[in-house]
Amino acid sequence: AVLTDRGLDAALSSVAARCTVPVSVEVDLEERPAEAVEGIAYFTVSELLQNISKHSGARTAAVEVWRADGR
Task: Assess if residue 38 is contained within a domain.
Answer: yes
The reported pLDDT for the residue numbered 11 is 98
Other CB atoms within 10 Å distance of the CB of residue 61: 19
Count of domains for the chain: 1
The reported pLDDT for the residue numbered 68 is 87
Range of the domain at 51: 2-66
* CATH code at position 34: 3.30.565.10
Task: Assess if residue 71 is contained within a domain.
Answer: no
Show the low-confidence residues of the chain (pLDDT under 50). Answer: none
The reported pLDDT for the residue numbered 71 is 65
